[in-house]
Amino acid sequence: MSKWWKERIVYQIYPRSFQDSNGDGIGDIPGIISRLDELKELGVGVIWLSPVYKSPDIDNGYDISDYRDINPKFGTMADMEHLFAEAKKRDIKIIMDLVINHTSDEHDWFIKSCDKDSPYRDYYIWKPANPNGGPPNNWTTFFGENAWEYDPKSDEYYLHLFHEAQPDLNYRNPKVIEEIKDIMRFWLKKGAAGFRCDVINLIYKTSFEDGIHRTAITGREHFVSQEGMHKILQELHRDVLSHFDCFTVGESVFVSLRDAKMLSDPEREELDMVFYFDHLQVDRMVEKYIPKKFNASKLLRILTKWQQGLDWNAVYLENHDQPRIVSHYGNDSEYWERSAKLLATLLLTLRGTVFIYQGQEIGMTNFEFTNISQIDDLETLGVDRLLKQFWIPQSLRYKMIMPCSRDNARTPMQWNAEPGAGFTTGEPWLGINKNHAIINVEEQKERTGSIYRFYKSMIGFRAISNTLKYGEFAPVYSDKRVIAYTRTIPGEEQFSVILNFSDKPATSPFEGSLVGKVVVTNVGRDTYDGNLAPWEAVVLKVW
């Protein structure tokens, strides 16, 4: 069934790095408003706004201390209302980041909850020490430490799957669920068109037994994609979401296809789509800090599994937690421009709602961090500490963590070649990539053949093509470097997409659905004969 949220392009804004309006070095809401025309011009139909709520910013806003207030760094509630109104004028919808697995430890609920006799005690997960002493169980956090924090005052521990300043809410308490419903209604009534739901498949903890020991996130079998979570999501849908014209995308970690299917099955009425991570881990071991060789066949296998396995996908290659895709699966030096266009071709020819992360449309690259002091990301700092405990020398540590640091995606947006990159007139909160002198929006908007222009034209092509939006996906060919797939509306139209993920020339078979008229090219070719240049992307109209 067609829906507006299946057809619009979603653009993720990481507010602190998007546009500063007052020279304090931090992006803000008035800054976003000043760039709305720019987003409209690119073809954006929905903005996903990373958290702008009141927060002590231990995890850059993913630790919320008041869900109904705005972080003063970003502006005021009046600014936020102005943003909704200005976006609406341009027919751009906004989805909010719903971070409800945990709050900040400065949230009023948590402060009250530290009192053992408070009615708020049960809003969080408090447990006495293990009978043998120490924390209640062996679970570990996403940032590498034990997941329990001791509170001497009440002589109990509270659970935090992320930082200790992010205590987990207790979803066995119906009052917590009612609070969340109220918060959702508050934002939907203000004009939000839905939510991106942070680590939503972790909210329900089935038991508190020790987990099977792992190098990371021990205990996960007790809290990933539990039956209790499905029930809660159905309740939120029934009582809140179904009353508004909105959509939800749930970030789901360690999610299996089966669980993702349940989460996004329209019949079950939980979420509309989910973010999963498999397709971004082709060149990573289970622990993302250990690299392995990229293999295009494996990428196509994973894409096929999810494209065919789910009714509707959330399609993305970047977000604020991932390295820049051109530095990850592309080539950010010699073939920077061409490989960024190949990745744009991939993104915009898959079936699902397309998400673009700020800066991706100009091929922003990873930052060359040379020292841990340049890093703000909690996760990177945590992993560095952990690796140090294993006596791993600094040079090797940096080699492991820097290419994956979440800060690669968090450096300020590169608007122009000026010293502050058009992002700020002040001192930016996080280093600006030196390459903004070359890689920036202003330069690429003006230049025919730029990555920005390529994104814009692919977005335009997709907007008028039912086949790209809704056509079936089928794999056609792959080897270590090349993948090819088709998008088809039976009896109507078929496209095939052929991509060479390598610095070397390559070939694809030249028969069947791999023969057709060239409709998209990143090398300026008129006809296709089975030979691909390095990092070439071509879309053929087969019939």
Which residues make up the interface to ligand TEU (CB under 6 A)? 59, 62, 99, 142, 162, 198-199, 251, 253, 288, 320-321, 379
Q: Which is nearer to ligand TEU, 162 or 336 (CB)?
A: 162
H/E element, 507: strand 506-507
**Which three-class secondary structure string do you get for 454-501?**
HHHHHHHHHHHCHHHHHCEEEEEEECCCEEEEEEEECCCEEEEEEEEC
Instruction: State the binding partner of 142 from ligand TEU, Ca ion, none, CB within 5 to 8 A by kind.
Output: ligand TEU
In this structure, how many other beta carbons lie within 10 angstroms of the beta carbon of residue 208? 15
> C-beta of 101: minimal distance to ligand TEU in Å?
7
> C-beta of 488: minimal distance to ligand TEU in Å?
33
User: Which residue of the chain is nearest ligand TEU when measured via CB?
Assistant: 62
Instruction: State the binding partner of 26 from ligand TEU, Ca ion, none, CB within 5 to 8 A by kind.
Output: Ca ion
- Which of 136, 118, 259 lies closest to 201 in space, CA to CA? 259
> C-beta of 160: minimal distance to ligand TEU in Å?
10
For binding to Ca ion (CB under 5 A), which residues are involved? 20, 22, 24, 26, 28
Q: Which is nearer to ligand TEU, 247 or 289 (CB)?
A: 289
Indicate which residue of 198, 318, 321, 377 is catalytic.
198
Q: Which is nearer to ligand TEU, 217 or 532 (CB)?
A: 217
In this structure, how many other beta carbons lie within 10 angstroms of the beta carbon of residue 158? 23
Instruction: State the binding partner of 493 from Ca ion, ligand TEU, none, CB within 5 to 8 A by kind.
Output: none
Indicate which residue of 156, 251, 318, 361 is catalytic.
251
Instruction: State the binding partner of 20 from Ca ion, ligand TEU, none, CB within 5 to 8 A by kind.
Output: Ca ion
Q: Which is nearer to ligand TEU, 320 or 456 (CB)?
A: 320
H/E element, 150: strand 148-151
Please name the amino acid found at residue 378: L
198 is catalytic: yes
Instruction: State the binding partner of 59 from Ca ion, ligand TEU, none, CB within 5 to 8 A by kind.
Output: ligand TEU
Q: Which is nearer to ligand TEU, 18 or 62 (CB)?
A: 62
Residues 6 or more apart in contact with residue 27 via CB below 8 angstroms:
14, 15, 16, 17, 18, 19, 20, 74, 412, 413, 423, 424
Q: How far apart are CA 361 and CA 431, in angstroms?
A: 20
What b/e readout covers 362-397, taking b as 16+ CB neighbours within 10 angstroms? bbbbbbebeebeebbbbbbbbbbebbeeeeeeeeeb
Q: Find the Cα–Cα–Cα–Cα dihedral 102, 105, 111, 115, rounded to 10°.
A: 80
Q: How far apart are CA 159 and CA 140, in angstroms?
A: 10
Q: How far apart are CA 173 and CA 298, in angstroms?
A: 43
- Which of 113, 133, 238, 136 lies closest to 181 in space, CA to CA? 238
Count, residues in the chain: 543
Q: Which is nearer to ligand TEU, 379 or 443 (CB)?
A: 379
> C-beta of 3: minimal distance to ligand TEU in Å?
25
- Which of 30, 25, 150 lies closest to 82 in space, CA to CA? 30
Instruction: State the binding partner of 198 from ligand TEU, Ca ion, none, CB within 5 to 8 A by kind.
Output: ligand TEU
Residue 503 CA, chain-centre distance (Å), reads 27
> C-beta of 422: minimal distance to ligand TEU in Å?
25
> C-beta of 320: minimal distance to ligand TEU in Å?
6
What b/e readout covers 215-229, taking b as 16+ CB neighbours within 10 angstroms? ebbbbbebbbbbeeb
In a 13 Å sphere around the CA of 212, the CA atoms on its Cβ side amount to: 4
Residues 6 or more apart in contact with residue 332 via CB below 8 angstroms:
324, 326, 339, 363, 365, 366
> C-beta of 413: minimal distance to ligand TEU in Å?
18
Q: Which is nearer to ligand TEU, 73 or 288 (CB)?
A: 288
In eight-state DSSP terms, residue 373 is G
> C-beta of 164: minimal distance to ligand TEU in Å?
13
446: which 2 tokens? 């003006």
Q: How far apart are CA 26 and CA 16, in angstroms?
A: 5
427 is catalytic: no
In a 13 Å sphere around the CA of 147, the CA atoms on its Cβ side amount to: 26
Looking at the annotation, which residues are catalytic? 198, 251
